[in-house]
Structure 1
Amino acid sequence: MKYSATVLRRIGGFITVAGLASLLAGCDVGETFDGFGWPQGGISQQSEKMYDLWIASVVAALAVGFFVWGLIFWCVVRYRKRGTDLPVQTRFNLPIEVLYTVLPFLVVSVLFYYTAVIQTNVNQVSANPNVTVEVVAFKWNWQFNYRSGPGEAAKTEASVTGTSSLIPLLVVPTGRTILFEEHSKDVIHSFWVPELLFKRDVFPGSTRNEFQVTIEEEGRYVGRCAELCGTYHSMMNFELVSVSPEKFEQYLAALKSGKTQPEAMEAIGFTGDKAYAVTTEPFETKRDSKAANS
């Protein structure tokens, strides 16, 4: 049975269009396909931009894949062996060679452009953020200093320090630009809140890493150290608490007045166990006499 080139082209085109249509079905392609491996549930504007870039890149890659697979199957059917005669031998085809040289370059250029734009946006830091938090990492806990502004010359207005029996809470407002300035007192640590879809290393010495986010959802999210920093690295947790700007101001005022972290949380309505971390809990350090003797 013989197929005309027109019929085969139509079949190939139909398969390609049908595949892309099923791929793009629904309001959110990423949600339909579980993010194509990218974690969902980002809570900041920056995480949404990175998520959109990933989804667009995967869809573009699949579109190219469907096109190539369509050409392969079309060649398999159209140019299959039909007898003993040797097919026409084409030494070169200049238009096709130019096409498969230029087209990949264009695809890569477009992906590179949008990657550079998103990366620049994610790493952008404003000169006057609404909130500046100095993140100080040490073995094996965190200190969060609420500063009067960016830069080392700014003053610390309030501070929260974690202990082996108290998980530190990093309370921040939603809808505001938050600048994190990071440095370590000893070794390299890494500041990571999974829902931010972003982490950055915390270095000792004069290096001060910084990044900025705008969180859009209220909630409580576990934070971790993502750099192997020693014996109790796995116990170096904290909790990010995003609240309304009004509650954040009340919380900050409570800290400034001398109240403890739990007391400041109670001042904004988090009473009882909710005044402490709910996403993680202090770990036993196993430093009792039995462990030492054994």
Structure 2
Amino acid sequence: MGRLKLAVIALVAVALSGCSPVDDSDIKRLALPVAGSDRTDEVWNVWLGAWIACLVVFLLVFGLMVWCMVRYRRRSDDEVPAQVRYNLPIEALYTFAPVIIVAVFFFHTVTAQNAILEDVDHPDHTIEVVGSKWQWAFNYLDEESTGGEDVYAFGTPDHPAELVLPVDESIRFELKSPDVIHSFWIPEFYFKMDVVPGKVNHFDVTPTETTTDYDGIGSDDPQDYYVGRCAELCGLYHSRMIFRVYVVSPEDYQAYLTSLQDKGQIGRPDGAAEADTIAGLDTEGAEH
């Protein structure tokens, strides 16, 4: 039986060794989107490990079922075997094996979570994200190309907001909400975080793949952008609370911020100020 287990594990490892989060094939990515940030490796490793564990358990259980059906099948001259009420070794296995599996998953999940949430000492850019019913606003803070003036972009359910990011430069997202809990999610970054009223959540990330150039910002071609979403059921138009993410070169990013300044989109929308107040209490939320 020991050799059988080793053979199963080796077979699964060989089958999954060609998988990659940046492969063009959905099958080789194990149904995940193409990885687009520096925080995806940890999630990929947990995801791949989960697939390996599931396949190993499936093959072992299914193999044991087939083996028992063949080995202990009823023959014409067989007597009915003695019936027992329990089998202590088997029941101990059924009890401890799942506990061990869950403990291993828990350990790797916490390890990956700590790595993903690790802050960058001095992020290159800071973007304030305001999620409200049912739209997004993005405030670009203290950028050199705008002379230190804050500029913003916003959207509506009919016209999704556009979030433009520079490739290979670190970004700190500060998340706020003036109304209900939302969740900021870019699937290609393999990460999401809740946007909670009265509280400032944040995380750091570096995009690693460009989606378009400056001329492609605003394009309706799905190849030119990622689709960001709200991942928390937040009300009537939750499903329409989406935004587009364009990852461009640093030069195109600075040109985009200048274009916002030229349009007069300077400062922060009112929603950002309201997001600092807990609704109904008129008190500022604690920043974390």
Tell me the alpha carbon deviations over residues 28-83 of structure 1, each in whole angstroms, 9 at most, x when there is no partner.
178573655x4322312323432332222122111122112222222222222343
Q: For the residues of structure 1 that align with 2:177 and 2:187, how far apart are their CA atoms?
A: 20
* Matched residue type, 2:262: K
Contact 1:160-1:169 within 8 A present in 2 as well? no
| DSSP-derived class of the 1:24 partner | helix
Contact 2:142-2:150 within 8 A present in 1 as well? no
Q: For the residues of structure 1 that align with 2:238 and 2:12, how far apart are their CA atoms?
A: 47
TM-superposed deviation, 1:92: 7.7
Match of 2:11 among 20, 25, 37: 20
Contact 2:12-2:56 within 8 A present in 1 as well? no
Match of 1:209 among 201, 205, 208: 201
* Matched residue type, 2:19: D
Total equivalences in the alignment: 244
Match of 1:184 among 153, 156, 177: 177
Q: Structure 1 260/166 Cα, relative in aligned 2: closer, same or farther at 3 Å?
A: farther
For the pair 1:171 / 2:164, whether they are aligned, the reply is yes
Write 1 or 2 for the structure with the bigger share of helix. Answer: 1
Question: What is the CA RMSD across the aligned residues, in angstroms?
Answer: 4.0
Tell me the alpha carbon deviations over residues 170-223 of structure 1, each in whole angstroms, 9 at most, x when there is no partner.
22112222111111233333323333333333222x311222222111112233
Match of 2:56 among 39, 56, 63: 63
For the pair 1:80 / 2:73, whether they are aligned, the reply is yes
Q: Structure 1 207/176 Cα, relative in aligned 2: closer, same or farther at 3 Å?
A: same
| DSSP-derived class of the 2:123 partner | coil
Identity %: 38
| DSSP-derived class of the 1:45 partner | coil
Q: For the residues of structure 1 that align with 2:264 and 2:210, how far apart are their CA atoms?
A: 19
Match of 1:138 among 132, 155, 160: 132
Unaligned 5+ segments in structure 1 are 1-8, 150-155, 263-294
Match of 1:223 among 221, 228, 251: 228
* Matched residue type, 1:260: K
Contact 2:33-2:187 within 8 A present in 1 as well? no
Match of 1:247 among 238, 252, 256: 252
Q: Structure 1 161/96 Cα, relative in aligned 2: closer, same or farther at 3 Å?
A: closer
- Larger Rg computed on CA atoms: 1
Query: In the alignment, what sits opposite 1:162?
Result: 154
Q: For the residues of structure 2 that align with 1:73 and 1:175, how far apart are their CA atoms?
A: 52
